[in-house]
Amino acid sequence: MERLKAAFTEALAAALPGMEIVLERPRSGEMGDLAFPCFKAAKALGRNPAQVAQELAGALRIDGARIVAAGPYLNLKLEPARRAAFLLDALLGPRPYGSGDPHAETVIVEYSSPNIAKLFTIGHLRSTMIGHALAQVNRYLGANVVRINHLGDWGTQFGTLLAAYKKWAEQENPRLEEDFPWAEAIPEKMRSPLYRLFQLYVRFHAAEEEDPALRDEARAWFRRLEEGDPEARRLWSWFREISLQAFDRIYRRLGVGFDHLEMGEAFYQDKLTPTLDRLEAAGILQDGENGARIVDLEDVGIATPCLVQKADGSSIYATRDVAAALYRQDTWRFDRCLYVVGSDQILHFQQIFAVAEKVDPWFKGRMVHTPFGMVNLPEGKMSTRKGNVIFLEDVLDEAVSRVTAIIDEKNPDLAGKADVAEMLGLGAVIFFNALNDRVKPITFTWDRVIALDGDTGPYVQYAHARILSVLRKAGGGWADMARPERAPSDASAAVAYAPAAVPSDLAGLAEAPAQALLFELAGLPDAMRVMAREHSATALARQLLAVAKAFSGFYTNCPILWAENAPEVRDARLALCVATARALRQGLFLLGIQAPEEM
């Protein structure tokens, strides 16, 4: 396909000297495989786009393809057998389909970044899975990717935790092993020291409303922590450890990894003074109200100054982010740094980026905040302070139990039911996130998330499982061709497949439904590129749905194992099945979703 694109681009460039050639993907395979919109060229020539398209159609020749004008578009349409050969070569060949050559670009993806003792919410799940997918796709396309978890392991909330622990736990429940008599009962599966730490946090915030003096106590504890007080440090590191254990369990369940889990906010403690010095040296550090230190951003159109040091001398969230940006610049000289964080922090990142650019214009254009909207659960908004948070593990467990109920009804004898339900339940939640990866808030309703016949993860997983069932029935090693050579590992974004032979006779793929499936498969590499360029998982999720739907059309209209099929027809169709299964599994894997063989 890349070669075809190059040939078409070259022919167009020769016909339109000096003009930039940008190809698009037509809306359907009926129209063609590649489209060249003639608007810009026509404008430059002072002519009508449809006429330009007509003339180009008459003048250009590409072997094995037709070039047709459709209004203002010039479409290149491959002959059916060519299309099939091109795509099957690419899909079954030695190189992971759509992957890019390794290149020197360094992309930092910062994601997940939960807060210690505030538990992991579904908002963090969005960051985790979108960030994971962006990291995967950039790796797949050949970039050097650094995956960082900017853990919330420093900050005034530790003052709160320390003060609360001293008050209500240290005497009677020092290891947080018992339930607190004053707290609400904890659901059985969530009973853990971390949960109790969270209860301390919630209680403190409630008490603080009544008695503002508590706020000073918490502040004083954070000061002690920043000053290196041994007791504060010891408790801090223990709080951190119990949180990390819980997070680790979630990451393992989700199959998500990081290159740097140690680079949370606390990592920058010893870099805060040098950072403030840098700001000072750049001449941008100013005095704010009663001794606080700020960077004014009015000149770059941001009305709110960035507070970098509080009146009491303690650091804040923003200071640590500026320090992190400088550290990452020094360490990686990155091309891009993506911050996968909710849209409630848009202003924060505008400020951080502006401060970094003031220190060094090098940062301009390299820092990207990829915001996503909040998830509205029917139960209401999530807030840690009040304690009415919807915890991620609850959501995942609920998804799995709903899927289990569906399997019990439809396929009660399914082997490995629990594993399949886990893959489908997680797949449903993750896919929903990917598909709706945008700034506006999304509403999470179970029917939309898991429906087997909707725009869901399980729908795509089902297409994959259905293909494997056809391939198993076909015998002759066909199913093995759709199986990876080894289990996917965190080390690579590519699923390991052995190259497979493309049948020489592809006449069995000439019919429209087979061609439509090929056309959608051809859209996957573009979707991956869009995903990397727009920092959004939506394009790939959509294209996987399109492939799954097109497969369903092919499966219904083009009998595969039909007794009357000539062997070449059967083989060509089976090869397309293998190619589709591989592409689906790879695409799902990039999003962080597993594909069961049976469901």
Q: Is 161 in the site for ligand ARG (CB under 6 A)?
A: no
Looking at the Cβ atoms of 243 and 580, the one nearer to ligand ARG is 243
Is 266 an interacting residue with respect to ligand ARG (CB under 6 A)?
Answer: no
Q: For residue 144, what are the β-bridge partners?
A: 106
Residue 212 makes CB contacts below 8 A (sequence gap 6+) with none
Please provide the distance, in angstroms rounded to a whole number, between the alpha carbons at the two ends of the chain: 33
Task: Please work out, in degrees rounded to the nearest 5, the angle formed at the alpha carbon of residue 564 by the alpha carbons of 560 and 565.
Answer: 45
Closer to ligand ARG by Cβ: residue 356 or 522: 356
Return the SS3 of 379.
coil
CB 285 → ligand ARG: shortest distance, Å? 20
By rule CB under 6 A, what count of residues binds ligand ARG?
A: 9
14 contacts 34 by C-beta, under 8 angstroms? no
Q: Which is nearer to ligand ARG, 369 or 464 (CB)?
A: 369
Nearer to ligand ARG, 16 or 318 (CB): 318
The answer for residues whose C-beta is within 8 angstroms of residue 211's C-beta and 6 or more apart is none
Is the Cβ–Cβ distance between 265 and 154 less than 8 Å? yes
Choose between 121 and 456: whose C-beta lies nearer to ligand ARG. Answer: 121
- Report the nearest approach of ligand ARG to the CB of residue 264 (Å): 8
Using CA of residue 124, residue 128, residue 129, residue 133, what is the dihedral sign?
positive
Closer to ligand ARG by Cβ: residue 115 or 315: 115
Radius of gyration of the chain (CA): 28
Distinct helix (H) and strand (E) counts, the chain: 20, 12
For the bound state, the minimum distance from the C-beta of residue 382 to ligand ARG, rounded and expressed in Å, comes to 11
The residue within the footprint of ligand ARG, chosen from 77, 83, 126, 150 (CB under 6 A), is: 150
List binders of ligand ARG among 36-65 (CB under 6 A). none
Which CB sits closer to ligand ARG, 154 or 589? Answer: 154
Q: How far is the CB of 252 from ligand ARG (least distance, A)?
A: 20
Q: Does 152 bind ligand ARG (CB under 6 A)?
A: yes
Q: Which of residues 324-383 bind ligand ARG (CB under 6 A)?
A: 339, 341
Q: How far is CA 579 from the centre of its chain?
A: 24
Q: How far is the CB of 421 from ligand ARG (least distance, A)?
A: 29
The rounded distance, in Å, linking the Cα atoms of 142 and 122 is: 30
Shortest distance, CB of residue 346 to ligand ARG, whole angstroms? 12
Nearer to ligand ARG, 11 or 242 (CB): 242
Residue nearest to ligand ARG (CB): 152
Which residues within the stretch 222-241 sit at the binding site for ligand ARG (CB under 6 A)? Answer: none
What minimum distance in Å lies between the beta carbon of 269 and ligand ARG?
Answer: 15
C-alpha–C-alpha distance, residues 591 and 114, integer Å? 20
Q: How far is CA 41 from CA 54, 62, 72, 77, 354, in A?
A: 13, 20, 10, 21, 38
> Which residue, 36 or 111, is less far from ligand ARG as judged by CB?
111
CB of 394 to ligand ARG, least distance (A): 18
- The 93-132 contact track toward ligand ARG, x by CB under 6 A, reads -----------------x--xxx-----------------
Question: Could you write out the three-class secondary structure of 192-239?
Answer: CHHHHHHHHHHHHHHHHHHCCHHHHHHHHHHHHHHCCCHHHHHHHHHH
Q: Nearest approach, Cβ of 124 to ligand ARG (angstroms)?
A: 6
In this structure, are residues 243 and 261 in contact, taking their beta carbons and an 8 Å threshold?
Answer: no
Nearer to ligand ARG, 98 or 131 (CB): 131
Angle of the 567-591 helix axis to the 512-534 helix axis, nearest 10: 20
For ligand ARG, give the closer residue by CB, 148 or 285: 148
Q: Which of 208, 217, 321, 422 binds ligand ARG (CB under 6 A)?
A: 321
Contacts 24+ apart (CB under 8 A), 300-306: 300/354, 300/357, 300/358, 302/347, 302/350, 302/351, 302/354, 304/347, 304/351, 306/351, 306/352, 306/354, 306/355
CA angle 116, 114, 456 (to 5 degrees): 145
Question: Please, what is the minimum distance in Å from the beta carbon of residue 150 to ligand ARG?
Answer: 4
Binding site for ligand ARG (CB under 6 A): 110, 113-115, 150, 152, 321, 339, 341
